[in-house]
Amino acid sequence: AGAGAMAYLRLLALVTFGHFWLVMERAARAELAAGNGDAGFLEAKCLTAKHFFDRPLPRAAGLAAEVQAGADTMMAFPDDRF
């Protein structure tokens, strides 16, 4: 279980941040559509969300593969080789 712990935590963080960026982007778009708030700030919020979805979030696929790979290769090393 410990072999994939770091990858799992990073994956969880990306998915959690992705969820909240989606919530914030939807709220910003709703405010823009209603003509409320500071349009520049809200548009920047949407662009920041897009950046997150385009750049950091795709790393989740690799982290998921790392988590699913299991611990076999790590555990194959004898203790004295660490």
Model confidence pLDDT, tens digit, residues 2-30: 778 999 999 999 999 999 999 999 999 99
User: Other CB atoms closer than 10 Å to residue 40's CB: what's the count?
Assistant: 8
CA distances from 8 to 26, 43, 70 (A): 27, 32, 11
Give percent above pLDDT 90 in the chain: 78
Predicted TM-score (pTM) of the model is 0.82
Look up residue 52 and give its amino acid: F
Q: What's the mean per-residue pLDDT of the chain?
A: 94
3-state secondary structure of 7: helix
* Of 50 and 73, the one with more pLDDT: 50
Give percent above pLDDT 70 in the chain: 99
Handedness of CA 52, 53, 57, 59 (dihedral sign): negative
How confident is the model at residue 74, as a pLDDT? 81
How far is residue 54's CA from residue 3's CA, in Å, rounded to a whole number?
Answer: 28
